[in-house]
Amino acid sequence: AQKITQTQPGMFVQEKEAVTLDCTYDTSDQSYGLFWYKQPSSGEMIFLIYQGSYDEQNATEGRYSLNFQKARKSANLVISASQLGDSAMYFCAMREGYNQGGKLIFGQGTELSVKP
Amino acid sequence: DAGVIQSPRHEVTEMGQEVTLRCKPISGHDYLFWYRQTMMRGLELLIYFNNNVPIDDSGMPEDRFSAKMPNASFSTLKIQPSEPRDSAVYFCASSGTAYSGNTIYFGEGSWLTVV
């Protein structure tokens, strides 16, 4: 069964510094996708970044990058130059199955607090 | 483009009442997911559909929960009868096929309180 593990319940980072949020996954499928979502206190789920299992380059979206280490089954999110607005819950998720058309399973989340 | 639209945004109901949550996926998306979020259990997948057909409903907690997708632009999640432990945020999400991008987009959620 697929599984997503986020081992950091809470993290603190100083404004303007970089922070890494950890995510490990477990799957026997060769084709899967890894996602990160942000959930601010208002509650909506905001898509941040996606990495396909066959993508050789790490995904980047603005200040977000995904450090994908396939052999270690890790997909850490790196946020550069943290801003106060980055304070939120961050969820790692995985979608597996044929052409990644399967279900999306989430980790337990990491609460990030950015200090001024 | 309109995102995933859910209604109602907030609902407070009495135990034993029927609750119906509604979802309109993004046009052209053929996958639709229903999730429940609570502090204790995190984000749980309840059920998902592909081309209006339920693919996996193993996360539906019990027979009180049912979901339908009568057409490509509408889905409902029904709880009958509701219980206080059903209080949660219910999210609907949708995505296209692998060939058109796998990103799964979420609605703003329906905040349900059962008293």
- CA-nearest residue to A100 within chain B is B98
Q: What is the pLDDT of residue A95?
A: 86
Residue type at B18? E
pLDDT at A53: 87
For residues B43-67, average pLDDT? 93
User: How many Å from the N-terminal Cα to the C-terminal Cα in chain B?
Assistant: 36
Distance, CA of A46 to chain centre: 12
**pLDDT recorded at residue B103:** 84
A90 CA: distance to closest CA in chain B (Å): 12
Mean per-residue pLDDT, B75-90: 97
User: Buried (b) or exposed (e) across B50-84, using 16+ Cβ within 10 A?
Assistant: beeeebbeebbeeeebebebeebbebebebeebee
Give the CA distances from residue B52 to residues A22, A114, B68, B105, in Å, rounded to whole numbers and listed in that order.
Answer: 35, 42, 8, 17
- pLDDT value of residue A107: 94
What's the 3-state SS for B32-74?
EEEEEEECCCEEEEEEEEECCEEEECCCCCCCCEEEEEEECCE
Contact A45 B91 (CB under 8 A): yes
The β-bridge relationship of strands A110-115 and A10-14 is parallel
Which chain A residues are Cβ-neighbours of B109 within 8 angstroms? 43-45
Model pLDDT for residues A12-51, shown as the tens digit of each residue: 999 999 999 999 999 888 888 899 999 999 999 999 999 9
Task: Give me the percent of chain A exceeding a pLDDT of 70.
Answer: 94
Interchain CB contacts (distance < 8 Å): A and B: 49
